[in-house]
């Protein structure tokens, strides 16, 4: 299994009629890889998965898979708050040739920890693909505790990774201390990528990599080669941008940022919407200009 260090949780482009724009999706995926992403996640939260039909998921996956090199893994988000639906999406993703599946904690219904063990185990046992558990209590209302993750791993041998987006560095440390070495832990927050690396995480499932992949790669490389001071400096420099990319609900800010770089992705599906006042993005534009060292008014699609 090729385990990326920088997985991009990819946005879903929509055309002027609101349909999934598979041409732009393919080109964007290729650009992400060329700029340093070594894995792509489609149909996740950043991809506005709750608004995608089964056919849109399929066409999005094929568009991305056909535009990236064979060695780049393309995973599909298949989580739901209905276990039966998650099973269906997982089986579909496997039939398409996905390299793995990302399964988010059930949202809204707030299952207890013992029920989470049953939910994730049932999904993992229904596929031969590697499974990444996605813990994001800020979106789902439920935290998957480290002890629960261990129980799921005991029951499902292909639960091989965790995207930890609790925002709790202590929980990340406990998780890393307890899980078997073969289970990869990913930061689910760009702002905690470096701190998670320092604790022993394998990588990040990133939103910021849409626009600043090279600095992320440089920070990772500095950490891997022992240049801790450089890694720390890059983290401090990028932190305001990481935070601003989540000032509004993801993926609204990152789609705005990509649009400033020339990508035709300046729309989201309801219930998300862009703000009426474009000044909301003034600080993001300033930070992006600083990070990229370019004039956004002259930027072109990369």
Active site residues per annotation: 134, 163
* HEC per residue, 251-285: CHHHHHHHHHCCCCCCCCCCCCCCCCCHHHHHHHH
CB-neighbour burial class of residue 217 (10 A; exposed 0-12, middle 13-18, buried 19+):
middle
Pairing of strands 203-206, 6-9: parallel
- Closest CA relative to residue 78, chosen from 149, 134, 156: 134
Look up tokens 């995608």; give the residue: 52
39-42 and 131-135 beta bridge pairing = unpaired
Chain centroid offset of residue 14 CA = 18
- Distance of alpha carbon 302 from alpha carbon 288, whole angstroms: 15
Query: What one-character DSSP code corresponds to residue 185?
Result: E
Taking residue 85's Cβ as centre, other Cβ atoms within 10 Å add up to 13
């Amino acid at each position: 299994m090729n385990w990326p260090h920088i997985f991009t949780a990819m946005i879903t482009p929509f055309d002027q009629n609101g349909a999934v724009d598979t041409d732009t999706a393919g080109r964007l995926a290729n650009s992400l890889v060329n700029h340093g992403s070594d894995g792509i996640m489609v149909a996740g939260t950043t991809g506005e998965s709750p608004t995608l039909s089964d056919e849109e998921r399929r066409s999005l996956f094929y568009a991305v898979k056909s535009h990236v090199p064979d060695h780049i893994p393309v995973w599909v988000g298949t989580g739901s708050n209905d276990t039966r639906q998650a099973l269906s999406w997982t089986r579909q993703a496997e039939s398409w040739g996905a390299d793995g599946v990302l399964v988010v904690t059930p949202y809204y219904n707030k299952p207890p920890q013992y029920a989470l063990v049953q939910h994730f185990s049932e999904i993992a046992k229904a596929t031969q693909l590697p499974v990444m558990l996605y813990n994001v209590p800020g979106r789902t209302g439920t935290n998957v505790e480290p002890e629960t993750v261990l129980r799921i791993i005991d029951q499902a041998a292909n639960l091989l990774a965790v995207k930890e987006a609790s925002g709790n560095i202590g929980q990340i440390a406990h998780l890393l201390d307890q899980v078997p070495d073969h289970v990869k832990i990913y930061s689910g927050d760009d702002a905690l990528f470096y701190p998670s690396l320092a604790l022993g995480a394998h990588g990040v499932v990133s939103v910021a990599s849409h626009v600043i992949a090279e600095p992320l790669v440089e920070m990772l490389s500095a950490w891997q080669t022992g240049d801790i001071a450089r890694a720390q400096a890059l983290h401090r420099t990028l932190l305001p941008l990481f935070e601003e990319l989540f000032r509004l609900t993801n993926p609204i800010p990152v789609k705005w940022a990509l649009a400033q770089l020339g990508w035709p992705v300046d729309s989201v599906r309801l219930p998300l919407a862009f703000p009426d006042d474009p000044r909301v993005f003034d600080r993001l534009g300033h930070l992006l200009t600083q990070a990229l060292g370019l004039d956004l008014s002259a930027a072109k699609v990369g």
